[in-house]
Amino acid sequence: MFRFGCDYYPEQWSQWLAEGEARWEEDARLMAEAGFNTVRLAEFAWALLEPEPDRFDFTWLDRAIHLLHSHGLDVVLGTPTPAPPPWLLAAHPDITQVTAAGRRLAPGTRREACANHPVYQERSQAVVTAMARHYAETPGVIGWQTDNEFGCHDSARCYCPHCQATFRRWLEERYGDLDALNRAWGTSFWGEIYRTWDEIPVPALSAAERNPGHLLDFYRFSSWSWQRFHQAQIETLRRLCPGHFVTHNLMGFFPELNYYELSRGLDFVAWDNYHYHGATPGMVAATHIHMRGILERNFWVMEQQAGQINWSVTNPATPPNFVRLKTYQAMGHGADGVLYFRWRQALAGSEQYHSGLLDHAGRPTQGLEEARQIGQELQRLAPLLEGTEPTARIAILLDYESRWALQIQPHNQLLRTDHPPDFRLENPALAVDREDELEDQFLTGGAFEAWPFLAPAIALWEANVPMAIVSPEADLSRYDLVCAPFLNLVRPAVAENLAAFVEGGGALILGPRTGVKDSANRLFSQPQPGPLAALTGATVAFFDSLEPDRRNELRWEPHVNRMGRETAVGLWAEVLEPAGAEVLASYTQGWYAGRAAVTRQEHGPGQVIYVGCMGGPRLYHTLFEWLLPALDIRPLLISVPGVEICARTGPDGRRLIFVLNHTRHPQILALSAPKVDLLTGQHFTQNLPLQPGDVRVLQVAAERA
């Protein structure tokens, strides 16, 4: 069953409206009328569920669940641990986190608690256990969302005394003895040699830069802290509610937690899809793809934007068809559930300007009208979605520890991977290719890529070529091409995985700054790309970190680019020294003009291409236009710019093609064979018309993608 619905807060409306619980009946009726079948509840209701220590009151939630279920609506319950109740924080004020600057956060909001505080851990387990026992057999309850958005509001890392004590124990277990830690961190630099574990501080704000090994281990520890906290909830829910699924709502490309580790033990991941300032449709698509790649299975969108948001730079109104377009984009990339945030715009609290499907006065919004249309369309489409999933022959590797290493020492500050999404890269070499056309897409806020490591993903998305985004430790044997655009830190297991992939006949593309660091965040003692040099057949002679207004250009070899056009590059340029590898492209500017920038090394049927520079999607378009035909990898369909094509395939070979018009203008796609739009039943022979923001879903015979 495709899960379709919204996030609902009945406890808030009981307090805010004079009609109280009487409003619940009307809300449930309208939800069912819209075609909803699922509602999320209670992820911030701890203070109501446990109004004082060990006195639990589930009566109001029981009534809400029963009412919703009577209207055919199933319930996903949130464990309410992101918002500890005032009585708990008053009794234990040191539950709140301490910032890197040493300031203790004030209570009275959400996500202020420290994952390593023993009382917070104990009370969290108590409320989760009580809820799980109470609702294990409740009709209509189908699953759980643990907590809410771990790490949100800069809460991933805490520097309090509890974290310091736990960090020291974590280090002792990781290294065994201090000599091993001192060697790993290279503590003889600046005389940091530690003689007892109690000498090791949390790396709080300091006069000069912290040791990068110390910082990387603290980032690992902080991620592990929330993983441990999370795992305790998962285990409790598994033990007490074996018939329910367990998931968590992630935050896309959030950099501070290792989502591969955090998500272990979940049935599937969910994520919260908000179109932040500056996001392009390609960025949102890549995020869906990454969320599916966390566990390599289909996912949910637990919070789908239903209108304006309240927390970005300008928060514009969403145009007609926005909600419908974004919902079908999620489906096309593997979402088996979409829930809108929220049912009704809040009357009080911090998110009053965040839109709902109903506005603050209870009137239906454009978002609700589009949701109702989707609800009708799902009556036809949902059975066809059963058992289908995206498939791909190309994988892009995203490594959290490499991102952390680049956060710690970016060398070029414009390459930091922890900038918020609203940060804009002004370097034209990193912009997506069709600036004028992308400016015409829905709510771009400007065409740019905030994370340079996504350049190949954007290029593939623009070409309508399916991809996966997975861990570098994933099984790569199912793919023909693997791209590792920023594998800054190379662990031994990753090096072995990549070597096995190439030896098995795979094509591997490595990006700039590959193989600079080892797992302790030290530079390798051999030339870059370190342990991958034998694969690349080339090493990095030196690199140039370019100012934002300085660019270079690549001249491709004629067999790669017969048109002879040059590619602009910027921010980072590595000069490669071939040692058996052929040169695919060379620089044309400056004192290293004529030196190698892109090389290729064959390994029997396998090959490794090293891209030593940053040219954004444009660079990868040139590379893919040459490489993909040789690998017999083709687009799903040929479309016009701004029209996205994605697909889901079933075990019986049926394939559903999603056609999404992200532009503000009508478009027409040429068809190679007649097609039927599954949403409307319309037949099209030669041309497929699309209105602005329009969606078509086509069923075709299975083809190799």
In this structure, the number of other CB atoms found within 10 A of the CB of residue 53 comes to 11
Sign of the CA dihedral 631, 634, 635, 640? positive
CB 3 within 8 A of CB 300: yes
Sign of the CA dihedral 519, 524, 525, 526? positive
Torsional class of 530: left (φ above 0), alpha (ψ -120 to 50), beta (otherwise): left
412: Cβ–Cβ under 8 A, 6 or more apart, which residues?
545, 546, 571, 572
Kindly tell me the number of DSSP H helices and DSSP E strands found in the chain.
19, 27
CB 257 within 8 A of CB 156: yes
In this structure, the number of other CB atoms found within 10 A of the CB of residue 655 comes to 18
Q: What tokens does 361 get?
A: 């006065």
* E strand or H helix at 325: helix 322-332
Cross-strand partners of 545? 572
Sign of the CA dihedral 170, 175, 176, 177? negative
- 704: amino acid identity, one letter: R
Sign of the CA dihedral 58, 64, 69, 74? negative
Rounded Cα–Cα distance for residues 587 and 574 (Å): 10
CB burial string 241-271: b at 16+ within 10 A, e below: beebebbbbbbbbbbbbbbbbbbebbebbbb
State the alpha helices, DSSP H only, in 100-145.
Answer: 118-135
Q: Which of 43, 50, 256, 303 is catalytic?
A: 303
Give yes or no: 602 in active site. Answer: no
Q: For residue 623, which phi and psi values (nearest 5 degrees)?
A: -65, -45
CB 500 within 8 A of CB 479: no
Q: Beta-strand (E) ranges in 342-473?
A: 394-397, 468-470
Q: What tokens does 543 get?
A: 């690199």
Which of 41, 52, 130 lies closest to 86 in space, CA to CA?
A: 52
Cross-strand partners of 52? 55
Q: Is 207 helix (H, G, I), strand (E, B) or coil?
A: coil
Cross-strand partners of 569? 552
Cross-strand partners of 572? 545
Q: Which residue has the tokens 């203008």?
A: 665
Q: Which of 149, 370, 377, 644 is catalytic?
A: 149
State the alpha helices, DSSP H only, in 399-510.
Answer: 400-408, 435-438, 455-462, 492-503
Which of 234, 249, 339, 329 lies closest to 285 in space, CA to CA?
A: 329
282: Cβ–Cβ under 8 A, 6 or more apart, which residues?
432, 457, 458, 461, 462
Q: Is 76 helix (H, G, I), strand (E, B) or coil?
A: strand
Rounded Cα–Cα distance for residues 632 and 465 (Å): 12
Q: How far is CA 404 from CA 160, 186, 433, in A?
A: 21, 18, 28
Q: Which residue has the tokens 């065409």?
A: 447
CB 249 within 8 A of CB 446: no
Show contacts of 667-670: CB within 8 Å, 24+ apart. Answer: 667/639, 667/640, 667/642, 667/643, 668/640, 669/637, 669/638, 669/639, 669/640, 669/643, 670/638
Give yes or no: 149 in active site. Answer: yes
- 389: amino acid identity, one letter: E
Rounded Cα–Cα distance for residues 573 and 537 (Å): 18
Active-site residue numbers?
Answer: 149, 303
